Every structure is written in structure tokens, then in C-alpha cells.
Amino acid sequence: MPESVLAVDWHLPQIPVGSWFKAIVDWLQGNIGPFFDFVDKVVNGAVTGLASALTWPPSLALALVFALLGWWLRGWKFGLGSAIGFALMDSLGEFPSAMQTLSQVLVAGVVAVVIAVPTGIAAARSEAVSRIVKPVLDFMQTLPAFVYLIPVIFFFSIGPVPGVVATVVFSLPPGVRLTELGIRQVDPEMVEAGEAFGSPPRRILTEIQIPLAMPSIMAGINQIIMLSLSMVVISGMVGAPGLGAEVYAAVTSLKLDLGFNAGLGVVVLAIYLDRLTSSLGARSAVGRALRRTAAA
């Protein structure tokens, strides 16, 4: 009996981590609110402007442009498949929503790449930076995706902006990790050769390390785009327009046909972006050399 009472009544002191986090969010809202207003205007303007540009031309004309881009980067088979996929999307009536989703993915992807690549390079060149960055990336990758939406709603209300901001945070880790990995995997003898010829560190980075690490960096960018697309769909729950909003509306109203059409649009967009960004890494100088070696 004493043992059971001890097991039931004895607890560790509760640590109010959630309350601390709420206090931090409240402090940020009260002290740097103008910064969040500025971010809201910039991101909202970028998403709205890009969505308007993508929905302005006729859908079939834009689908042809996407198909030609795919043909140029990957060949006629991919170009033909892209044309069929976007034509199917148009026939389902999902083309405008897909372009709204694409605008959010592109804005979030560009911001994430601008942050991730320099951070990965800094982590590769400094052990101190790497030790600081790694636990932060671990936390960002393991935290559930829905949790990212909670604080950004407090900062930016509902709409596309909280979705884009949460998407940037969610998609950063693979870009940083693969950039760091690519820089670290560069043959040290190549770096030593550059140093022997008197090249400064900046030139060694830009002309030796980054070109040789480009396949790994492009793989990180590919993962950023894919995670951005998955998170943009989830951000439809907080009012971001596009395919994510349609999927969420279909789930809440149990409309199977609407959900399937929007989901099919997500699949077409995901396959197109995945193959397109993968081909960019293969078209780098190192990627071409690897293909020639494999063919030989």
C-alpha cells in the first residue's frame, strides 16, 4: 500500500515550457510588431504578384510553356508527360488553384534556399557553426509540421503569409545538411591544390568547393521544394489559397470528388517540380562528368 501511494502521488515538478514559449511570442508581438508587418507585406505581395502572373495567361498556353521547359531540361518524353499532366489538371478545373500553390512553393523555396545554402557553407567551413546548427536542425526536423502553424498565426493572422513562413522553417534542414555534406565531401587534395597556387579562401570556395559540391547542393534544393509543397498543402488549414485549401475543404465536408481532384493536382505538380529540380543538378559540370564516367 505505501508503495502504491508513493507511485500515484509523487511527481516531478512541472516545467512550464509552454508558458515560456507563449511569453516569448507575446514579447515578440509587442516589441517587433512592425518587423512582422513588413514581412507580411513583402511575402503577401510576392505571393499575390506571382500568383497573378501565373494565372494571367490562358491555362493551356502556360501548360505549353511548362512542357517546353521540361522538354529542354529533361527531354521530349518528360515534356510530353508534363503537357499531359497539366492538360489533365486544366480539365479537372484545378489549374488556377495549382498556380496559387506553385506561387507559394516558389516564394518559400527561394527564401529557404537563400538561407539554407549560406548556412550550410558556414557550417562546412566552421566546426563551431556546425555544432550550433546541428541541434537546431534536429529540433526543426522532429517538431511536428502542424506546430509550425501555431506561432506564425499569432504573428501574421490567417492567409498565405503564415503558410509561407512556416514552410520556410519546415523546409530549411535538408538544404543546410546537404549543402554542408557536399562541401565537406570535396576532395581535400583539390582544396590543397588551389591553396598551393595561391588562391584565396573565397576563390577556393566559389571555384572549387561549390562547383564540386553542386550535385549535393541541388539535391538539398530539390528536398526544399518537395517539403515546401507538402507544407503548403498543410498550410491550407490556416487560409492559404490553392490546392491545400481545396484538400482541407474536401476533408471537412467529406467531398471525395473534390479531394481526389485537388490531390491529383498536387501529384502532378510534385512530380513536375521533383523531376525539374533533379535535372538541374544533373546538368551541372560534375553531374555531366559523373554521367560520362558511368556510361564509359
pLDDT tens per residue across all 296 residues of the chain = 455 555 556 667 777 777 777 777 777 777 777 777 788 888 888 888 888 888 888 888 888 888 898 888 888 888 888 888 888 888 888 888 888 888 988 998 899 999 999 999 999 888 888 899 888 888 888 877 777 777 777 777 777 888 888 888 888 888 899 998 888 888 877 777 777 777 777 888 778 888 888 888 888 888 888 888 887 777 777 777 888 888 888 878 877 878 788 888 888 888 888 888 877 766 555 555 555 555 55
**Among candidates 160, 158, 213, which has minimal Cα distance to 48?**
160
pLDDT for 114: 92
The C-alpha R_g of the chain, in whole angstroms, comes to 23
The reported pLDDT for the residue numbered 3 is: 53
Q: What's the pLDDT at 249?
A: 81
Nearest 5°: the CA angle 212, 283, 59 is 135
pLDDT computed for residue 287 by the predictor? 54
Q: How far apart are CA 110 and CA 91, in angstroms?
A: 30
Domain extent listing, the chain: 92-288
Grid cell listed for 31 = 516589441
Quick one: fold of 92-288?
MetI-like fold (1.10.3720)
Question: Rounded CA gap, 257 and 261, in Å?
Answer: 6
Q: Which of 234, 39, 38 is nearest to 146 (CA)?
A: 234
pLDDT value at residue 147: 75
| Rounded-to-integer distance, Cα 285 and Cα 289, Å | 6
Distances (CA, A) of 203 to 144, 164, 206, 209, 211: 40, 34, 5, 9, 11
Q: Please, are residues 51 and 99 in contact by the beta-carbon 8 Å criterion?
A: yes
Task: Determine the Cα–Cα distance for residues 281 and 285; give it in Å rounded to an integer.
Answer: 9
CB 174 within 8 A of CB 109: no
Q: What is the pLDDT of residue 248?
A: 80
